[in-house]
Amino acid sequence: MKSDQQGYQVKLWAIVGPLICLFSLFVISIKNAQVPFFLPFALLIGMPVCWRWRLWGWGGATLFLIACLAFEYDLIPLEERFWVVGISFSNSLALLITALSFEEVETQIESLGVESRSRLENLWKVDEKKQAIEQELAAKKEEVKNLKFKVRSFQKLIDLSTEEMHSARADHDKILQEFCQIKDENEKLTELLAKSESDPPMEAKYRQLREQFKEKANVLVETRRDLFLANEKISRLQRELDEERWYTLSEVEELLEKHILELSREKEIQDEQHQREMEALLALVDKFILK
């Protein structure tokens, strides 16, 4: 809106001075009496002079007009002198308005030039920021890709650890079952030993049972040790599984996708700002071309 108003002002000031000069020429041309030659000549010469040198040109054209009027004053008929002086003064004012209008046009053009340069600089900054955001977005996407690969690797490790833990639990259940079986056999052997001690003819059988008891006791010790190792292994696998599950896919993706969404929104805002600055700059260029 502001640019349109400035463009209208430039066009208005560009034509107001020449229109007044043309109106003065029209008034001079419709005069029936003989008009001194310097009146239209001063206007025709004064307009380009005022356009080139502004107020200095108007001063020169006015001095030329006064000199011609002083030189031709005695030659002008008495009844026409007042009209000639008046039209000369009118021509001087027309040239002054022309000089001021050209000066205002120059000021408006400089203002538009400053505004266009400012908008162009803003456009460059927006474009640079847009490129930086695009690069950061590409880097974040690459980081997401790498993290997804790591998450898949963690998931495979979790699956392997789960399988190993299930296998260890199965071994634990098997060893526990053997332990219970050995414990039952141990109790039976203890009862048999108690009976054998009270029965002397069964000494040979007592010795045999005692050897079996020692073997079962050794097996029981081995079973207890295996059971303890199995429990330790299950506990270790459970801890590893809990630590690996800390880095789940849903948590990592949620954080990274949230950051990518923020970068995408910022990039859309910069694109809109970039488009607005480009349209404003094109509008200024069109005004300079039309001018």
Total number of residues shown for the chain: 291
Residue 4 pLDDT: 57
Q: What is the pLDDT of residue 289?
A: 46
- The token pair at 85 is 């002086």
CB 234 within 8 A of CB 161: no
DSSP labels, the chain: -HHHHHHHHHHHHHHHHHHHHHHHHHHHHT-SSPPPTHHHHHHHHHHHHHHHHHHHHHHHHHHHHHHHHHHHGGGS-HHHHHHHHHHHHHHHHHHHHHHHHHHHHHHHHHHHHHHHHHHHHHHHHHHHHHHHHHHHHHHHHHHHHHHHHHHHHHHHHHHHHHHHHHHHHHHHHHHHHHHHHHHHHHHHHHHHHHHHHT-GGGHHHHHHHHHHHHHHHHHHHHHHHHHHHHHHHHHHHHHHHHHHHTS-HHHHHHHHHHHHHHHHHHHHHHHHHHHHHHHHHHHHHHHHHH-
Range 231-249 burial, b when 16+ CB lie within 10 A, else e: eebbeebeeebeebeeeee
Q: Find how far residue 264's CA is from the centre of its chain.
A: 7
| Beta-carbon count within 10 A of 277 CB | 19
Q: Are 152 and 144 in contact (CB under 8 A)?
A: no
Pair 158, 274: CB distance under 8 Å: no
The residues of the chain scoring below 50 in pLDDT are 1, 249, 285, 288-291
Do the Cβ atoms of 227 and 243 come closer than 8 Å? no
Whether the Cβ atoms of residue 124 and residue 73 lie closer than 8 Å to each other: no
Residue 285 main-chain phi, psi, to 5 deg: -65, -40
pLDDT of residue 249: 47
Neighbours of 126 (CB within 10 A): 20
